[in-house]
């Protein structure tokens, strides 16, 4: 099977790596060290692997790496640092929105995609935007509260 | 995941040439929301995947004379956001709203949902209600046929191995038609349909004009409930006629037991939701 070098721009850094055709963006990101992107169902049902590619939130388990050639990709780790977290990251911590934590990277990325499009979302819009991110621990309440709080924080800036 | 070659044509003719390779399994891939899952589960065993990313002829939603043409690569998100769909094919927008989840909607395409031909394909049902046609193309030429005739069984279509779906087209429904779509699932989002129902009807005072009732996930393919439609077409709309049409529709369904629901439950839900959607479409029609 032939390998091809793919160029991707991830969290502001440009990477080039050779992949086989059957490697998904999820595998590629994790091979490149972006283990903040989680593997859940690998079927597009759970949203754990959500990343933003060229401005659109999508399941990285469904996109073949070759098809992400020259793409601008954002993962949760690229949204902020421990010293300078993104308001969403800070809100998720402040509101105790994480229990086991596994769904959280996907939740935060989906929330970012929402706030990029709608700066003051209604509760219904928040639920809709996160409807592809499944959580078995929290019951979603604090996740929604965190997103609401972060939206207010961001719109004040 | 299985090894395969991935070809990434830049033009339509490159894509058709790639599809025409004969003695190996060549399959198209658009958003990959079915294909990648199917390759991983070994349901699909392609030797070559032909990626349709960059083919301009497959993009776009346009109004052509009295028709709306959806390029095969139209994503479900586009169905949700495109004003032409909201204005002329609201039933497709309603289906897009409850399709999978936002991330999958960004990738999944109309051509892919039709080509995969899942009995529960949520975009297929509204397209049947819109009486859509499928446009197919290969190196040997193109052809058009009704979506109803294109689907022949669960995940089976009459697409020849060298053909790709280029577009779906339908006659614009009359402006004041009533559109109603319902999807019953085990969750409010991110679910496979237990049943789905699409009703599109025209109103002429107290009379029903044209009416189409499409049912999904209750037959080997999504279907039109033609017998149910025939008792309403041209007649006065009454609650009892709607109820009777829904009963006939539920008899036209041929549901099975599966891990999501039982056949009897599905049949009963067709009866309930066909009636509700008929009432809803009627109240929305002018």
Determine the straight-line distance between the first and last CA of chain A, rounded to whole angstroms.
50
Question: Which residues of chain B neighbour A57 with C-beta distances below 8 Å?
Answer: 102-103, 106
Q: What is the Cα–Cα distance from B223 to B212, expressed in whole angstroms?
A: 10
pLDDT in tens, A54-95: 999 999 999 999 999 999 999 999 999 999 999 999 999 999
Q: Note whether B33 contacts A44, CB cutoff 8 Å.
A: yes
Pairing mode of beta strands B5-7, A72-74: unpaired
CB-nearest to B37 from A44, A56, A131 is A44
Residue (of A24, A23, A22, A19) closest to A5 by Cα position:
A19
- Characterise B141 by phi-psi region: left (phi > 0), alpha (psi -120 to 50), beta (else): left
Mean pLDDT of A42-56: 98
Structure tokens belonging to residue B244? 């009777």
pLDDT in tens, B88-102: 999 999 999 999 999
Mean pLDDT of all residues belonging to chain A = 97
pLDDT band at residue B24 under the 50/70/90 scheme: confident
The pLDDT assigned to A112 comes to 98
Query: For residue A1, is pLDDT > 80?
Result: no
Interface of B with A in 169-198 (CB under 8 A): 188-190
Mean pLDDT of A105-122: 98
pLDDT band at residue B127 under the 50/70/90 scheme: very high
The pLDDT assigned to B21 comes to 83
The pLDDT assigned to B92 comes to 98
> Which of B54, B102, B118 to mutate against chain A (most A CBs within 10 Å)?
B102
> Which of A25, A44, A147 to mutate against chain B (most B CBs within 10 Å)?
A44
Q: Note whether A110 contacts B103, CB cutoff 8 Å.
A: yes
The pLDDT assigned to B28 comes to 97
Q: Note whether A22 contacts B39, CB cutoff 8 Å.
A: yes
Q: What is the Cα–Cα distance from B65 to B49, expressed in whole angstroms?
A: 35
Q: What is the Cα–Cα distance from B59 to B110, expressed in whole angstroms?
A: 11
Q: B262: which residues sit within 8 A by CB, 6+ positions away? A: none
The pLDDT assigned to A50 comes to 98
pLDDT in tens, B228-242: 999 999 999 999 999
Q: Note whether B104 contacts A61, CB cutoff 8 Å.
A: no
pLDDT in tens, A2-36: 999 999 999 999 999 999 999 999 999 999 999 99
Structure tokens belonging to residue B249? 């529709």
The helix, strand and coil proportions of chain A, stated in percent and rounded to the nearest 5, come to 40, 15, 45
Give the CA diameter of chain B: 60
Query: For residue B22, is pLDDT > 80?
Result: no
Query: For residue A137, is pLDDT > 80?
Result: yes
Question: Which residues of chain A neighbour B73 with C-beta distances below 8 Å?
Answer: none
Query: For residue A111, is pLDDT > 90?
Result: yes
A-side interface with B, Cβ within 8 Å? 1-2, 20-22, 24, 42-45, 47, 50, 56-59, 61-64, 66-67, 110, 113, 128-129, 131-134
φ and ψ at residue A28, rounded to 5 degrees: -60, -45
Mean pLDDT of A136-145: 97
The pLDDT assigned to B63 comes to 97
> Which of B34, B41, B103, B183 to mutate against chain A (most A CBs within 10 Å)?
B103
User: Quick one: what percent of chain B has pLDDT higher than 90?
Assistant: 98
Pairing mode of beta strands A72-74, A4-10: parallel
CA of A132 vs chain B CAs: smallest distance (Å)? 5
pLDDT in tens, B141-186: 999 999 999 999 999 999 999 999 999 999 999 999 999 999 999 9
Across A39-43, A52-56, B23-27, B59-63, least confident range:
B23-27
The pLDDT assigned to A157 comes to 80
What ipTM does this complex have?
0.97
Q: What is the Cα–Cα distance from B135 to B153, expressed in whole angstroms?
A: 19
Residue (of A46, B106, A123) closest to A147 by Cα position:
A123
Mean pLDDT of B38-64: 96
Mean pLDDT of all residues belonging to chain B = 97
Of all residues in chain A, the one with the smallest CA distance to B6 is: A21
Q: A141: which residues sit within 8 A by CB, 6+ positions away? A: none
Q: Note whether A57 contacts B8, CB cutoff 8 Å.
A: no
DSSP characters over B219-275 = SSS-EE-HHHHHHHTTSB--HHHHHHHHHHHHHH------SS--HHHHHHHHHHHHH
Question: Which residues of chain B neighbour A133 with C-beta distances below 8 Å?
Answer: 101
């Amino acid at each position: 099977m032939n390998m091809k070098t793919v160029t991707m721009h991830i969290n502001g850094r440009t990477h080039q790596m050779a992949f086989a055709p059957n490697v998904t963006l999820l595998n590629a990101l994790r091979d490149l060290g972006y283990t903040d992107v989680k593997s859940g169902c690998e079927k597009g049902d759970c949203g754990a692997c959500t990343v933003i590619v060229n401005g659109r939130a999508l399941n990285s388990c469904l996109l073949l790496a070759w098809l992400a050639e020259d793409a601008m990709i954002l993962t949760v780790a690229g949204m902020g640092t421990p010293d300078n977290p993104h308001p969403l990251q800070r809100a998720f911590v402040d509101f105790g929105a994480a229990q086991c934590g596994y769904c959280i990277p996907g939740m935060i990325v989906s929330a970012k995609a929402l706030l990029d499009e709608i700066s003051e979302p209604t509760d219904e819009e928040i639920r809709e935007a996160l409807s592809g991110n499944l959580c078995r621990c929290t019951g979603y309440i604090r996740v929604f509260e965190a997103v609401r709080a972060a939206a207010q924080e961001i719109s004040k800036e | 995941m299985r090894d395969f070659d991935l070809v990434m044509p830049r033009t339509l003719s490159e894509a058709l040439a790639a599809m025409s390779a004969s003695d190996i399994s060549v399959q198209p891939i658009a958003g990959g929301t079915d294909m990648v899952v199917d390759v991983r589960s070994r349901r699909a065993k392609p030797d070559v995947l032909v990626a349709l990313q960059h083919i301009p002829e497959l993009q776009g939603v346009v109004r052509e004379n009295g028709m709306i043409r959806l390029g095969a690569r139209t994503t479900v998100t586009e169905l949700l956001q495109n004003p032409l769909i909201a204005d002329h094919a609201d039933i497709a927008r309603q289906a897009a709203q409850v399709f999978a989840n936002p991330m999958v909607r960004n990738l999944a395409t109309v051509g892919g949902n039709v080509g995969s031909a899942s009995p529960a394909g949520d975009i297929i049902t509204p397209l049947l209600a819109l009486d859509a046609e499928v446009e197919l193309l290969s190196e040997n030429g193109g052809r058009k046929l009704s979506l109803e005739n294109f689907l022949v069984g669960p995940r089976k279509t009459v697409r020849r191995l060298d053909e790709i779906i280029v577009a779906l087209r339908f006659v614009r429904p009359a402006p004041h038609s009533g559109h109603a779509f319902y999807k019953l699932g085990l969750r409010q989002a991110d679910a496979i349909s237990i049943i789905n129902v699409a009703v599109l009807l025209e109103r002429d005072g107290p009379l029903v004009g044209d009416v189409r009732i499409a049912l999904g996930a209750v037959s080997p393919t999504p279907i039109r409930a033609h017998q149910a439609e025939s008792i309403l077409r041209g007649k006065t709309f009454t609650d009892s006629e709607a109820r009777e049409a829904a009963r006939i529709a539920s008899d036209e369904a041929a549901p099975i037991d599966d891990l999501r629901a039982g056949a009897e439950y599905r049949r009963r839900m067709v009866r309930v939701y066909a009636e509700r959607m008929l009432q809803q479409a009627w109240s929305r029609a002018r």
